[in-house]
Amino acid sequence: MRAALGSALGSAATSLLAVAAMVAAWEGLVRGLPVSPDLLAPPSAVLEALLRHPDILLEHGLATARETALGFVLACLAGVVPGALLSTSALLRRVAMPWVLALQIVPKMALAPLFVVWLGVGAPCRMAFAVFIAFFPVLIGTTAGLAGTDSGALRLCRVLGASWWQTVLWVRLPYAVPQLLAGMKTAATMALLGVVIGEFVTAQQGLGYVVMFAASLGETALVLAAIVLLCGIGLVLYGAVLLAELGFARWYGAPMPAGEFG
Amino acid sequence: MPDTSALASEAVRFQAVGKTFPTRPHPLRAVESVSFSVRRGEFVSILGPSGCGKSTLLMMAAGLETPTEGRLERGGVALEGPHRQTGVMFQDATLLPWLSVLDNVLFPAVIRHIPRAKVLDQAMRLIETVGLKGFEHSRPHELSGGMRQRAAICRALVLDPDLLLMDEPFSALDAITRDEMGDVLLDLWQHTHKSAIFVTHSIREAVLLADRVLVMSRRPATVAEELVVPFPRPRSPALADTAEFAALVAHLRGVIARSMAA
């Protein structure tokens, strides 16, 4: 236990050292080479931009974080409910899957302006776009997970005379959770992507808007500062799903059949 | 509806039961006009080569498959679907990986809405009888194959069924564990005197455990020979080392060879 903790701390320290080295190299390169700080701002300038505009960054950062979190939750619902429905009926799958797949093949960014036409330039437009981009992996994780239930366990349910609900609750759902969580991890990053694209096209608020605005003024340091904050939001959301996965793995108590730990 | 099952002297009766699976391009004839019955408290082994259709017989007795011809009675009444008073064991233990041994054993009570307190004593007694005491709170993945199958026996018996159906329950185990499990089952059955159908391709298991052995032909399965096992009860595993036992095993081996050649 102690050794495991030690090695975990050790590998975390290694990763942190690598990041620190990268940042230092970046700083050194920008200072040492004849690169204009307008093209590539050094880390010190990014830090300075973060400290110079805390109110702007906080306001837009909070908006992005709020819309991403809500978009993610809605995307999970929009994936789990139809995914569960699809898994109950082969007919439904045959009817709906071509449409779901066609939606996936369309380059989704190209549809972003349409969302503005439909929903205007406010938060509903950005969140709807985030849901649109992020729900698919959750849907696939749900259907694949529910379909992948151990056949022996299903036979056991039949022998015991379990109802459809009991079978879903006691056997199908627990077997589906690992794949569902894997889908949710993908959805976490997709939701943030969707919100940022939404901020690009609506140009009202959010860190994506800050990026566009600062870039148009040549404020590279502010662009990078906003991106650092976007990374932070993405990491927090991804980490939350990861924590849920670890909690589930502890409850599951056995090597999980699917879904990997990132 | 009056409970006629108590009046019937037969736990199960197959009357000219046949089964054809509608496979393509050719339908698969699995069982051909099988007639036999199992008296209350009788242990019947069904012995036959792999893939001869004996598992199909058992699945029909469990109510998981319906006969395409003939009549199948359970306690004097036509069998339609899984029966509440039947316990079933499969080739795999099919324990739910996220439940402890005790919770797996109690799983049938959960499905049937029987309060835990009512069956807890019975579950603990069974767990002790099969030698799993001290492992109640272990997860399946922490157990050996033999221990998992012991837990599966307890689960099949926890609601005190009057008929126990076993489909090659020890065939996934190594030879030593397998003999050991046969002994556990012999001991357990002699204490409870339930009716039982035990499908196996091990002659030793079939003879040691059963009052009567049915030898099946190749597919489609018919009863090629019926043999009453003359050894008195209670039997001990040492019986298998006697000359009389060896003679009976040799005789059955001859019967199987002839039924295969026919």
Are B68 and B258 a contacting pair, CB within 8 Å?
no
Taking only the tens place, the pLDDT of each residue in B221-250 is 888 889 999 998 888 888 989 999 999 999
Long-range contacts of B237-240 (CB under 8 A, 24+ apart): B237/B179, B237/B182, B237/B183, B237/B186, B237/B208, B239/B208, B240/B204, B240/B207, B240/B208
Residue B121 pLDDT grade (very low, low, confident, very high; cuts 50, 70, 90): very high
| pTM confidence score | 0.78
Chain B: give the shortest CA distance to residue A2, in Å: 23
Token pair for B181: 């499990």
CA B205 – CA B221 distance, rounded (Å): 20
CA A166 – CA A146 distance, rounded (Å): 14
Contact B86 A159 (CB under 8 A): yes
Amino acid of residue A63: A
Task: Please report, to the nearest 10 degrees, the dihedral formed by the alpha carbons of residues B63, B65, B66, B71 taken in order.
Answer: -60
Contact B64 A160 (CB under 8 A): no
**Predicted confidence (pLDDT) at residue B3 exceeds the cutoff of 70:** no
CA A7 – CA A30 distance, rounded (Å): 35
Q: Which residue has the tokens 């589906």?
A: A176
Find the residue in A nearest to B152 (Cα). A156
CA A43 – CA A220 distance, rounded (Å): 11
Maximum distance among all alpha carbons in chain B?
55
Asked if residue B216 and residue B255 are part of one domain, the reply reads yes
Asked if residue B38 and residue B103 are part of one domain, the reply reads no
CA B36 – CA B13 distance, rounded (Å): 6
Chain B: give the shortest CA distance to residue A165, in Å: 10
CB hemisphere CA count around A85 (13 angstroms) = 10
Asked if residue B256 and residue B169 are part of one domain, the reply reads yes
Asked if residue B76 and residue B16 are part of one domain, the reply reads yes
Asked if residue B232 and residue B175 are part of one domain, the reply reads yes
Contact B141 A254 (CB under 8 A): yes
CA A191 – CA A72 distance, rounded (Å): 5
CA A219 – CA A221 distance, rounded (Å): 6
Of B151, B210, B207, B144, nearest in space to B176 by CA: B144
Token pair for B111: 């499905």
What pLDDT is attached to residue B89? 93
Asked if residue B104 and residue B32 are part of one domain, the reply reads no
Of B91, B109, B90, nearest in space to B99 by CA: B109
Q: CA A88 → CA A85, A91, A157, A249, distances in Å?
A: 5, 9, 16, 26
Are A180 and A252 a contacting pair, CB within 8 Å?
no
**Residue from A150, A157, A160 to probe the interface with B (highest B Cβ count within 10 Å):** A160
CA A14 – CA A10 distance, rounded (Å): 6
Asked if residue B240 and residue B154 are part of one domain, the reply reads no
Whether residue A82 has a cis bond before it, omega within 30° of 0: no
Quote the strand ranges of B101-146, DSSP E.
none
Token pair for A118: 């439909």
Are A23 and A43 a contacting pair, CB within 8 Å?
yes
Please give the distance of CA A181 from its chain centroid, rounded to a whole number: 11
Task: Please report, to the nearest 10 degrees, the dihedral formed by the alpha carbons of residues B130, B135, B140, B142 taken in order.
Answer: -120
What pLDDT is attached to residue A30? 84
Of B64, B98, B140, the CB nearest to A158: B64
Boundaries of every domain in chain A: 45-252
Residue B2 pLDDT grade (very low, low, confident, very high; cuts 50, 70, 90): very low
What pLDDT is attached to residue A181? 93
Listed residues B145, B160, B175: the one ending a domain: B160
Asked if residue B34 and residue B79 are part of one domain, the reply reads yes
Of B90, B107, B111, the CB nearest to A152: B90
Q: Which helix (H) or strand (E) segment is A61 a member of?
A: helix A54-88
Mean pLDDT score, A173-200:
93
Find the residue in B nearest to A171 (Cα). B96
What pLDDT is attached to residue B172? 79
Chain B: give the shortest CA distance to residue A241, in Å: 20
Residue A257 pLDDT grade (very low, low, confident, very high; cuts 50, 70, 90): low
CA B163 – CA A170 distance, rounded (Å): 25
Per the structure, the count of domains in chain B is: 2
Of B22, B107, B92, nearest in space to B55 by CA: B92
Q: Which residues of B touch A166 (CB under 8 A)?
A: 111
Taking only the tens place, the pLDDT of each residue in B126-173 is 999 888 999 999 999 999 988 999 999 999 999 999 999 999 888 878
Of A156, A160, A252, the CB nearest to B97: A252
Asked if residue B146 and residue B36 are part of one domain, the reply reads no
Q: CA B149 → CA B142, B156, B157, distances in Å?
A: 13, 10, 12
**Predicted confidence (pLDDT) at residue B259 exceeds the cutoff of 60:** yes
Q: CA B95 → CA A153, B9, B147, B189, distances in Å?
A: 7, 33, 11, 22
Token pair for A108: 């989704």
What residues of chain B have any CB closer than 8 angstroms to a CB in chain A? 62-64, 81-82, 84, 86, 88, 90, 92, 94, 96-98, 107-108, 110-112, 139-141
Asked if residue B148 and residue B95 are part of one domain, the reply reads yes
Both ends of chain A: CA-CA distance in Å? 21
Asked if residue B247 and residue B178 are part of one domain, the reply reads yes
CA B58 – CA B89 distance, rounded (Å): 10
Mean pLDDT score, B82-95:
91
| Structural domain that includes position B10 | 1-85+165-262
CA B81 – CA A167 distance, rounded (Å): 17
CATH code assigned at B33? 3.40.50.300
Find the residue in B nearest to A160 (Cα). B108
Residue B1 pLDDT grade (very low, low, confident, very high; cuts 50, 70, 90): very low
Listed residues B143, B160, B177: the one ending a domain: B160
Domain A45-252 = CATH 3.40.50.1390: no
Q: Is B71 helix (H, G, I), strand (E, B) or coil?
A: strand
Residue A261 pLDDT grade (very low, low, confident, very high; cuts 50, 70, 90): very low
Asked if residue B81 and residue B39 are part of one domain, the reply reads yes
Residues β-bridged to residue B87: B164
Contact A253 B98 (CB under 8 A): yes
Of A143, A146, A141, A138, nearest in space to A75 by CA: A138
Residue A254 pLDDT grade (very low, low, confident, very high; cuts 50, 70, 90): low
Q: Is B89 helix (H, G, I), strand (E, B) or coil?
A: strand
Taking only the tens place, the pLDDT of each residue in A55-95 is 999 999 999 999 999 999 999 999 999 888 888 888 988 99
Residue A3 pLDDT grade (very low, low, confident, very high; cuts 50, 70, 90): low
Token pair for B11: 């736990």
Listed residues B160, B190, B222: the one ending a domain: B160
